[in-house]
Amino acid sequence: MKILLVEDDRTIASGLEYSLKQEDYETVLCYHAAAATDIIHNQIDEIDLCLFDLNLPDGSGYDLCQLVKKRRDIPVIFLTAYDDEVNVVMGLDMGADDYITKPFRIRELISRIKSVYRRYHRDTQPKNLIEIKNIQINLLDGKVYKDGKEILLTALEYRLLLIFANHIGQILTRAQLLDQIWDVGGDFVNDNTLTVYIKRLREKLEDHPQSPTIIKTIRGMGYKVGD
């Protein structure tokens, strides 16, 4: 994810940029509204989410938010020292997706970013397309793609992937998985067979099947896809 960060306090900006990079977010940092405006006009198609300080030396985060929303419908989170109701309402009316008041803990901000992006992505994602990291599932033609290249799955592998895709962020026990796939194709699937199919699915989807990042094992509980 690429984040446009606009913050005039260089100390705060530097700390935020470092923390975001530690979370594997790419940042485009601006200290002034003018620089941010230039980015919005020329690079907005590359931006996934915006973090705007409200009070800037040469403008306002409100104005930047309006400009972004006119060009692309992407999430915007305001950073501000003010926590009064008027500013909160005004920010949301401008189209902001969330609002966090300084000082804040970086973990809280990261959590807000993930929550807003996940909610936004889920709400705007076409219903015939499900995306999980670099995996795309086209529900219309029943095909699965990795980095744009089609992956051939068996009927049961596809069904298993759909179960995970329809429960993003939820931990699914082996019993729940077995209950939903046991009769696909008229074949009985036992616990050992499920292990084999999860292994095969990982080999096709994961860059490193031995260290999966898509279908994650939650020790003692089951499996989870997504945050």
Whether the per-residue pLDDT at 187 is higher than 60: the answer is no
Q: Identify whether the C-beta of residue 194 lies closer than 8 Å to the C-beta of residue 177.
A: yes
Cα distances (Å, whole numbers) of residue 196 to 24, 131, 207? 32, 24, 18
- Residue boundaries of the structural domains of the chain: 2-124, 129-225
At 188, is the pLDDT very low, low, confident or very high (cuts 50, 70, 90)? low
**Mean pLDDT for the chain overall:** 87
Pairwise CA distance, residues 92 & 76, whole Å:
10
Pairwise CA distance, residues 112 & 131, whole Å:
21
Pick the CATH number of 129-225 from 3.50.30.40, 3.30.420.10, 1.20.1080.10, 1.10.10.10: 1.10.10.10
Size of the chain, expressed as the number of residues it contains: 227
Q: Tell me, which fold does domain 2-124 have in CATH?
A: Rossmann fold (3.40.50)
Closest CA relative to residue 168, chosen from 125, 108, 219: 125
Tens-digit pLDDT profile for residues 112-126? 898 888 877 665 555
Amino acid of residue 106:
I
- Quick one: pLDDT at residue 203? 96
Tens-digit pLDDT profile for residues 98-155? 888 888 889 889 988 988 888 776 655 556 888 899 999 998 889 999 999 999 999 8
User: What is the torsion angle, in degrees rounded to the nearest 10, for the CA atoms of residue 198, residue 199, residue 202 and residue 207?
Assistant: 160
Cα distances (Å, whole numbers) of residue 137 to 55, 120, 215? 42, 18, 15
